[in-house]
Amino acid sequence: DGGITQSPKYLFRKEGQNVTLSCEQNLNHDAMYWYRQDPGQGLRLIYYSQIVNDFQKGDIAEGYSVSREKKESFPLTVTSAQKNPTAFYLCASSGGLAGTPSTDTQYFGPGTRLTVL
């Protein structure tokens, strides 16, 4: 799991609540990513950020929001607009200079399992 931490490990949300998942990295990586993993569906990209103060929607951004105010941190908020948020959420980062293919390896945190009650 390297130098990426995610918290909490388990999170329970009531209907209508917003919750925020934390992701921190000490790898000095420029890019960070949020994925959602559901059984049999692999990894689906929610949001990604290639540099501080900039981020782009991934394939399933609806009902989620992010911020990238610091290089080390990329928190994900699951809003009440996300109709089916129960899933395993993975944060990743990749580093170095933009456009350098050797730095494209993504390193993952240990994940947060979110359950809606």
Partner 1 sequence: AQSVAQPEDQVNVAEGNPLTVKCTYSVSGNPYLFWYVQYPNRGLQFLLKYITGDNLVKGSYGFEAEFNKSQTSFHLKKPSALVSDSALYFCAVRGNAGNNRKLIWGLGTSLAVNP
Which residues are at the interface with partner 1 (CB under 8 A)?
A: 1, 4, 6, 31, 40-43, 45, 48, 50, 58, 88, 90, 92, 94, 98-99, 101-102, 104-111, 113
| Alpha-carbon span 25 to 2, nearest angstrom | 9
For partner 1, the closer of residues 16 and 40 by Cβ is: 40
Is residue 15 within 8 A of residue 79, CB to CB? The reply is: no
For partner 1, the closer of residues 71 and 113 by Cβ is: 113
Q: What minimum distance in Å lies between the beta carbon of 39 and partner 1?
A: 10
Q: What minimum distance in Å lies between the beta carbon of 53 and partner 1?
A: 17
CA 25 to each of CA 6, 12, 28, 47: distance values in angstroms, whole numbers, following the listed order: 9, 24, 7, 16
